[in-house]
Amino acid sequence: MRLLLDTQSLILVGQGRLPARAKEVYSDKDNEVYFSLVSLWEIGIKTAVGKLRFKRNLKDYHDLLVEELNLAPLSIEATHIERAVRLPFHHRDPFDRLIIGQSLTERLCVLSGDVQFDAYKCDRIWD
């Protein structure tokens, strides 16, 4: 299975706090696990405006995700943006909309606790 972590699940992976089902799927070595670069952007912005406490340098965090957690970075492509801007507005968060666009374009199952993703008919696993 090919998985895409949303920003919440990416943070929870680092804290070892995924719910049981998400942790089981994430931990399966047969699965390919990706994180979107939009998540790094979201973490950076939320940290800058005081909505999130994140002490790591984003470049170092990226390297840790790739080198130590063996996650594959998913770049933001024009096709992902095109898909995201054409989605109906069930979800208004631009970061989540881009993750949804990426998951649909790349046919990735999203690890997310956000039930609003279900309105887009993307595969989602959580608990």
Q: In the numeric block, which tokens belong to residue 45?
A: 């912005």
- Chain centroid to CA 81: 15
For residue range 106-116, what is the model confidence (pLDDT) as tens digits? 999 999 999 99
pLDDT given at position 13: 95
Assess contact for 2 and 108: CB atoms under 8 A. yes
In the chain, the percentage of residues whose pLDDT exceeds 70 is: 100
Average pLDDT of the chain, as a whole number = 97
Buried b (16+ CB within 10 A) or exposed e, 23-36: bebbeeeeeebbbb
Segment holding 32, helix H or strand E: strand 32-36
Please tell me the pTM assigned to this model. 0.96
Domains of the chain, CATH where assigned:
2-125 (3.40.50.1010)
For residue range 23-69, what is the model confidence (pLDDT) as tens digits? 999 999 999 999 999 999 999 999 999 999 998 999 999 999 999 99
Assess contact for 114 and 96: CB atoms under 8 A. yes
Give me the DSSP letters along 64-122: HHHHTS-PEEE---HHHHHHHHTS-TT---HHHHHHHHHHHHHT-EEE---GGGGGGT-
Confidence of residue 20 (pLDDT cuts 50, 70, 90): very high
Segment holding 33, helix H or strand E: strand 32-36
pLDDT given at position 121: 94
pLDDT given at position 92: 94
pLDDT given at position 41: 97
